[in-house]
Structure 1
Amino acid sequence: MTLRPDLRVIADHIEPGARVLDVGCGEGTLMAALRDGKGVDARGLEIDPLNVAAAVARGLSVVQGDADVDLADYPDGGFDYAILSQTLQTTRAPDRVLDELLRIGRRAFVSFPNFAHWRVRASLLWGGRMPVTRLLPERWYDTPNIHHLTVDDFRAHLDDRGVTAERAWFLARGRRTRPAAANLLAEHAVFLLRL
């Protein structure tokens, strides 16, 4: 099974047998890879009923729900990892969703598109319009991305909240790029967090 580059980073860094909650799990691609490859006890929360049905058809434990409201129902420390991949920027209250992730999981993986990537900047500068790219294919009016964050925005938010980033990976064209210039060069970021 081929995983998106950010999901591959996450899968590679989860211990076998861990208890995982994948929030915004889609059709359960990451959950299936973790279950089949590492014997992980994976659970999922997904807002789209078609994705929930597809995940359940794969034999995965996924419920329909909204990260903005339904994470409050999960117990403190109920999972080794809470995962939010390419979903933070689509939530109404990303700061509260992040707080819930860190309450539910002993550690949390968060991945998101970096809206400060040089191609996004160039598109705005030279074209004067919101970019439509391979990784951000929707137009401004049909995008699920309602919060446009950057690597530096996320780092500052973690500092403000006293959250520790144990590790971070920055990806461009599916490969790792340098952390020092991540805000400019990374298309996606993956953070492993703990309180």
Structure 2
Amino acid sequence: MQQTLLQEISTYGRLLGAAFYYAPQAQEVKPILAFFERPNWIEDWHILTVSEEIQGLIRKGLSRDLDEAYQYLFIGPNALPAPPWGSVYLDREGVIFGDSLLELRTFLKWHKITFSLDLNEPEDHFGLMLMLAAYLAENHPPLLNEFLAQHLLTWSGRYLQLLAEQTDYPFYQALSLLAQQTLQRWQEKLMLEVPKLQLYR
């Protein structure tokens, strides 16, 4: 596997993963917001040709209340329009802690990979899984293809599609479009065959 591609997955997996997982006021997100506030940030996002639409959504989103957007899209209390957990899409009952999460946990346990999470939360959160892809690129590259093809790409397209439809929240709409293109690039570069699974949302 090319070292440049592994470095790309490490960099963008961590950046996008943190932006999806942590609240906007979190220390982990502050440098990410500062990155997107730079007028020439697209020059550093050299893996993609970033459309004017995405640039405009980023600018518009940064001028709005990101805490409110994060609360609505990731926390609740109302039903989330685009739940960020894989088992919601892959489990017939549409629940978190479904069978696909158990399969992910088996994968992690088999390869002696442990999460350090503050709460008893499911590990198949989209943001966490992007950061896990970065970790695998850095530490266990041979596991990357299986993880992406079997555990992330099976459902992430549907999640990102639903998130992109949330036009009242342009920053996260832009992130969803960036993530879609980035994951598609990785799938093509790694020549991954992703199984077509039944999605329930």
TM-score (norm 1): 0.29
Q: Which has the higher helix share?
A: 2
Higher strand share: 1
**Which structure's relative contact order is higher, taking Cα pairs within 8 Å and 6+ residues apart?**
2
TM-score, normalised via structure 2 length: 0.29
